[in-house]
Structure 1
Amino acid sequence: MGCCVSTSSRSTCSSGSHGKAQSVSPTCFEIGFCGTKKTNRTFSDHVIAVQNLPSVPNRVFANGKSRTSCIFTQQGRKGVNQDAMIVWEDFMSEDVTFCGVFDGHGPQGHLVARKVRDALPLKLLSSMHSYRSRQNKSGGSCLKGNSNKMDGGDSDKDGVAENRLNCSWREAFMKSYKAMDKELRSHPKLDCFCSGSTAVTIVKQGPNLFMGYIGDSRAIMGSKDSNGSMVAIQLTVDLKPDLPREAERIKKCKGRVFALQDEPEVSRVWLPFDDAPGLAMARAFGDFCLKEYGVISIPEFSHRLLTDRDQFIVLASDGVWDVLSNEEVIEIVSSAPTQSSAARSLVDSAAREWKLKYSTSKMDDCAVVCLFLDGKMESESDHEEQGVFFCNPSKNFTVRTSEESDSYGRMVPAELEGNALTVSTEDQNWSGLEGVTRVNSLVQLPRFSEERPNP
Structure 2
Amino acid sequence: MGTCCSISRSPHHDHHHHSQEGDAEWHNYNEKDQLAMADDQYIKNGDGARVRFHGSSRFISMYTQQGRKGVNQDSMTVWENFNGEKDSFYCGVFDGHGPSGHEVSRMVRDNLPTKLSSLVKKTSTNYKSDRFFSNWENNFINSFEDMDEELGVESSLNAYSSGCTAVNVVKQGDNLIISNLGDSRAVLCTRDGNNHLSPVQLTTDLKPDIPEEVERIKSRKGRVFPMEEEPEVFRIWMPEEDCPGLAMTRAFGDFCLKDYGLIPTPQVTYRKITSNDEFVVLATDGVWDVLTNSEVVKIVASSRKRSLAARLLVDQATRAWRYRYPSSKVDDIAVVCMFFKERPIVHERSDNGSELNKNFAEVGPRHGRKKLKSDDGLDTVVNCEVSRTENRGLTRRRQPQQSHR
TM norm. shorter chain > 0.5: yes
Task: Name the structure 2 match of 1:112.
Answer: 104
- What is the rounded CA distance, in whole Å, between the counterparts of 1:306 and 1:119 in structure 2? 28
Deviation at 1:4, TM superposition (A): 5.3
Task: Name the structure 1 match of 2:120.
Answer: 128
Deviation at 1:257, TM superposition (A): 0.6
Task: Name the structure 2 match of 1:448.
Answer: 387
- What is the rounded CA distance, in whole Å, between the counterparts of 1:216 and 1:203 in structure 2? 18
Alpha-carbon contact 2:256-2:388 (below 8 Å) kept = no
- What is the rounded CA distance, in whole Å, between the counterparts of 2:189 and 2:2 in structure 1? 38
Deviation at 1:131, TM superposition (A): 2.0
TM-score normalised to structure 1 length: 0.68
Correspondent of 2:232 among 265, 283, 286? 265
Alpha-carbon contact 1:256-1:271 (below 8 Å) kept = yes
Q: Secondary structure at the match of 1:240?
A: coil
Show CA shifts across 1:396-438 (max 9, x none). xxxxxxxxxxxxxxxxxxxxxxxxxxxxxxxxxxxxxxx6623
Q: Which runs of 5+ in 2 are unaligned?
A: 8-41, 346-373, 392-405
Correspondent of 2:293 among 323, 326, 333? 326
Q: Secondary structure at the match of 1:348?
A: helix
Task: Name the structure 2 match of 1:310.
Answer: 277
Deviation at 1:5, TM superposition (A): 8.6
**2:54 equivalent to 1:87:** no
Task: Name the structure 1 match of 2:170.
Answer: 203
**2:164 equivalent to 1:212:** no
Task: Name the structure 1 match of 2:317.
Answer: 350
Deviation at 1:446, TM superposition (A): 3.3
- What is the rounded CA distance, in whole Å, between the counterparts of 1:169 and 1:111 in structure 2? 27
Q: Secondary structure at the match of 1:308?
A: coil
**2:353 equivalent to 1:361:** no
- What is the rounded CA distance, in whole Å, between the counterparts of 1:54 and 1:177 in structure 2? 23
Show CA shifts across 1:327-378 (max 9, x none). 0000101111211111011000000001100000111101000000114679
Q: Which AA in structure 2 matches 1:61? A: F
Rate the CA distance shift 1:5–1:210 in 2: closer, same or farther, 3 A.
farther
Task: Name the structure 2 match of 1:223.
Answer: 190
Identity of counterpart residues, as a percentage? 49
Task: Name the structure 1 match of 2:65.
Answer: 74
Show CA shifts across 1:282-339 (max 9, x none). 0000000000001000000101111000000000000000000000000101111211
| Deviation >4 Å, runs of 4+ | 1-7, 375-378
Alpha-carbon contact 2:299-2:312 (below 8 Å) kept = yes
Q: Which AA in structure 2 matches 1:448? A: S
- What is the rounded CA distance, in whole Å, between the counterparts of 2:68 and 2:2 in structure 1? 35
Alpha-carbon contact 1:67-1:376 (below 8 Å) kept = no
Alpha-carbon contact 2:163-2:254 (below 8 Å) kept = yes
Q: Secondary structure at the match of 1:275?
A: coil
Q: Which AA in structure 1 matches 2:222? A: G
Alignment of 1:30-429 (within 5 A): 54-56=43-45, 58-62=50-54, 64-92=55-83, 93-131=85-123, 144-145=126-127, 158=128, 161=129, 163-375=130-342
- What is the rounded CA distance, in whole Å, between the counterparts of 2:182 and 2:221 in structure 1? 20
Deviation at 1:439, TM superposition (A): 2.0
TM-score normalised to structure 2 length: 0.77
Alpha-carbon contact 1:108-1:191 (below 8 Å) kept = yes
Alpha-carbon contact 1:320-1:350 (below 8 Å) kept = yes
Task: Name the structure 1 match of 2:378.
Answer: 439
Show CA shifts across 1:77-110 (max 9, x none). 1010000011111012012100010000011100
Q: Which AA in structure 2 matches 1:363? A: V
Alpha-carbon contact 1:271-1:293 (below 8 Å) kept = yes
- What is the rounded CA distance, in whole Å, between the counterparts of 2:111 and 2:331 in structure 1? 25
Deviation at 1:264, TM superposition (A): 1.2
Alpha-carbon contact 2:78-2:92 (below 8 Å) kept = yes
Q: Which AA in structure 2 matches 1:131? A: T
Alpha-carbon contact 2:6-2:43 (below 8 Å) kept = no
- What is the rounded CA distance, in whole Å, between the counterparts of 2:72 and 2:276 in structure 1? 35
Alpha-carbon contact 1:3-1:123 (below 8 Å) kept = no
Q: Secondary structure at the match of 1:281?
A: coil
Q: Which AA in structure 2 matches 1:297? A: P
Q: Which AA in structure 2 matches 1:110? A: H
Q: Which AA in structure 2 matches 1:334? A: A
Q: Secondary structure at the match of 2:195?
A: coil
Rate the CA distance shift 1:60–1:5 in 2: closer, same or farther, 3 A.
closer
Rate the CA distance shift 1:253–1:215 in 2: closer, same or farther, 3 A.
same
Rate the CA distance shift 1:230–1:291 in 2: closer, same or farther, 3 A.
same
- What is the rounded CA distance, in whole Å, between the counterparts of 1:186 and 1:377 in structure 2? 46
Q: Secondary structure at the match of 1:371?
A: strand
Rate the CA distance shift 1:371–1:255 in 2: closer, same or farther, 3 A.
same
Task: Name the structure 1 match of 2:33.
Answer: none
Alpha-carbon contact 1:215-1:238 (below 8 Å) kept = yes
Structure showing greater Rg: 1
- What is the rounded CA distance, in whole Å, between the counterparts of 1:254 and 1:323 in structure 2? 33
Rate the CA distance shift 1:220–1:255 in 2: closer, same or farther, 3 A.
same
- What is the rounded CA distance, in whole Å, between the counterparts of 2:50 and 2:173 in structure 1? 17
